[in-house]
């Protein structure tokens, strides 16, 4: 089920810190001019999936418009906003989290190799450490990113950046918490990433434009911290809530 958020815990801290890390790295990556790496998208025998490859994307998944996110017992799903648009979703599961974000990509060209290079450069410029390894989801970055700890001292946040190129889209995942510190413990998060369905749409989009998401039709925005009674859901396991920072959306 989507657990109801009650108190700040390890997963909340991990998800929040990961969002800050991603925002900072994206800003630096956008400012960096790099030589374009032209690579064809690799096969995706195990997903993530394009909407044309799945008979019913909504089966067992939460419909966020641009992506359909698999639902599993015990998870929370938070949406993240840029201006007036919802551009990312973060799945929090126990003491780990994965942020999911889709982007437009060229028709015959993958961008994950290029994006990895830019992310790695941004982290090292901040004084962090990056290792590029071949993991369960293909090539990924395992990084130690400088962050400010709650007591004001400096520390490092361990984060994994994963990505897959699809037909005219790219899906990025940012794993934080125990799933990043101990990658062998991230199996369920990795499966959520694999089973995500991307809906790119047919309209024109510039490469790297975020694929805009939407709230589920039966979601309700409520202020952070407002507790609501547990109710069943149309999704498996009686999943309960979607939330983002100061906002929570509840799936009923």
Helix/strand/coil (H, E, C) string of 170-225? EEEEEEEEHHHHCHHHCHHHHHHHHCCEECCCCCCCCCCCECCECCCCCEEEEECC
50: CB partners within 8 A, 6+ apart? 166, 167, 169, 197, 198, 200
CB 175 within 8 A of CB 159: yes
DSSP secondary structure letters along 43-106? P-TT--EEGGG-S-TTTTEEE-SSEEEE--TTEEEEEEEETTEEEEEEEEETTEEEEEEEEE--
| Helices and strands in the chain: count of H runs, count of E runs | 4, 14
The model's pTM: 0.76
Q: What is the DSSP letter of 140?
A: E
> 142: closest CA among 183, 107, 178, 170?
183
CA 9-171-103 angle, to 5 degrees, is: 110
CB 248 within 8 A of CB 224: yes
- The pLDDT tens digits along the chain (252 residues) read 333 334 445 555 555 555 555 555 554 454 444 455 566 677 787 889 999 999 999 999 999 999 999 999 989 999 988 888 898 999 999 999 999 999 999 988 899 999 999 999 999 999 999 999 999 999 999 999 999 888 889 999 999 999 999 999 999 999 999 999 999 989 999 999 999 999 999 899 999 999 999 988 766 554 454 444 333 322 222 233 444 433 333 333
Note the pLDDT of residue 157.
Answer: 94
Q: What is the DSSP letter of 39?
A: B
Handedness of CA 151, 119, 18, 128 (dihedral sign): negative
Q: Where are the domains of the chain?
A: 14-214
CATH architecture of the domain formed by 14-214? 3-Layer(aba) Sandwich (3.40)
pLDDT in tens, 44-78: 878 899 999 999 999 999 999 999 999 999 899 99
Per-residue tokens: 39? 């690579």
CB 242 within 8 A of CB 2: yes
How far apart, in whole angstroms, are the C-alpha atoms of residue 111 and residue 166?
A: 10
> 234: closest CA among 108, 97, 58, 112?
58
């Amino acid at each position: 089920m989507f657990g109801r958020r009650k108190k700040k815990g390890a997963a909340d801290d991990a998800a929040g810190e990961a969002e800050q890390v991603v925002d900072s790295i994206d800003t630096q990556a956008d400012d960096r001019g790099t030589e374009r790496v032209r690579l064809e998208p690799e096969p995706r025998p195990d997903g993530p999936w394009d909407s044309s490859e799945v008979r019913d994307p909504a089966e067992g998944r939460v419909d966020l418009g641009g992506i359909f996110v698999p639902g599993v017992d015990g998870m929370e799903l938070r949406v993240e906003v840029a201006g007036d648009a919802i551009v990312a979703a973060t799945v929090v599961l126990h003491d780990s989290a994965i942020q999911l974000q889709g982007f437009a990509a060229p028709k015959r060209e993958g961008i994950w190799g290029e994006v990895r290079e830019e992310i790695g450069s941004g982290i090292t410029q901040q004084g962090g450490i990056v290792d590029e390894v071949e993991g369960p989801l293909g090539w990924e970055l395992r990084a130690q990113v400088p962050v400010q700890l709650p007591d004001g001292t400096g520390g490092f946040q361990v984060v994994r950046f994963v990505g897959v190129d699809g037909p005219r889209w790219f899906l990025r995942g940012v794993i934080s918490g125990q799933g990043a510190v101990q990658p062998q413990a991230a199996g369920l998060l990795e499966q959520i990433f694999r089973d995500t369905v991307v809906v790119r749409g047919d309209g024109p989009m510039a490469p790297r434009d975020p694929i805009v998401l939407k709230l589920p039709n039966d979601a309700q925005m409520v202020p952070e911290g407002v507790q609501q009674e547990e109710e069943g859901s149309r999704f498996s396991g009686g999943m309960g809530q979607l939330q983002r920072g100061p906002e929570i959306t509840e799936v009923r």
